[in-house]
Structure 1
């Protein structure tokens, strides 16, 4: 039997309550949210077609201090709005029990977007970043297993710079997220 989060359904924040409660990065979050556009009509139609399904729920492990949350979750909110999938945000620090079931390479990385059915059975997940951006961190962690190495922080800074580079300047990365979510949701 897979993971079940039934006990968490109904305990998170609505997307609007999450935004309203942000004490950090709110302007940037709203800027990415406002800049979102549907690049392809068939993508928009796909997400709109999900509104006919009543079996999906979306739980998002997030926190306002995280740059990847600020970049990625505005897009996720837009997708879930179009799909009419009930969406709740679980603040990571308040839901470590859930966070620790969805570790990335053994660590707590957010955002993690979790899809369940109406009974809380986990059906799929995404995160913490688009695959092309996450590849940088995977390679870094594999090449630098010792967090206490003298050059660890320096190499981590370089990896983070490359991740920002892969996100790019504009909103092109948002199209990648749309594609990854479309593939995931089509499989559920």
Structure 2
């Protein structure tokens, strides 16, 4: 069943309003935004020439989330280049929408939604690039009992591997651009 978000149009924040209202991680968020660079000219060319006239981007996010701070700046850059109007729904203010887009049963953000002019959700990305997300997928499938004695230790190990896969620089942003490109090509 297709989810329709037309009723949410205009209820979110513009990318600049989201950044301006951040009470946590604003400097780090801005730093990732400023560090963004195109990994290659063909990817940039795709976004510059994307036919997205009837498409909007709605991002479920919160300033306290490390994955939002790392990934949304790249999403903002991609959407700017593709001229896709973008709106941010702060998760705590839009739990009704968040709960329609759970990741493995949990509220993982960011959730990047591509929405038609009619409000139908036609594409989804998040909360991380697939390569970076793999350790969490493996953890969740192997650790179903939250009361198990090694649950927290295994969760910590999965999070450490996620950070290792993000790496120190902006290389992971290429993964985001490639994955968003694939989504837009299917729409």
TM-score when scaled to structure 2? Answer: 0.98
Matched, 1:139 2:166: no
Structure 2 SS opposite 1:23 = coil
Partner of 1:108: 107
Gaps of 5+ in 2: none
Deviations 1:89-130 (A, max 9, x none): 000011000001000011110000000101101101000100
Structure 2 SS opposite 1:59 = strand
Partner of 2:91: 92
Structure 2 SS opposite 1:178 = helix
Mean Cα deviation higher: 29-38 or 150-159? 150-159
Deviations 1:17-57 (A, max 9, x none): 0000011111111111000011211111111112x531100
Matched, 1:18 2:18: yes
Matched, 1:38 2:51: no
Deviations 1:135-177 (A, max 9, x none): 1101001110011212211111111000000011111000111
Give the Cα separation in 1 of the matches to 2:118 and 2:73.
26
Matched, 1:150 2:179: no
Gaps of 5+ in 1: none
Give the Cα separation in 2 of the matches to 1:101 and 1:74.
23
Structure 2 SS opposite 1:123 = strand
Partner of 2:6: 6
Partner of 1:55: 54
Aligned length: 187
Structure 1 SS opposite 2:54 = coil
Give the Cα separation in 2 of the matches to 1:53 and 1:169.
32
Partner of 2:165: 166
Partner of 1:72: 71
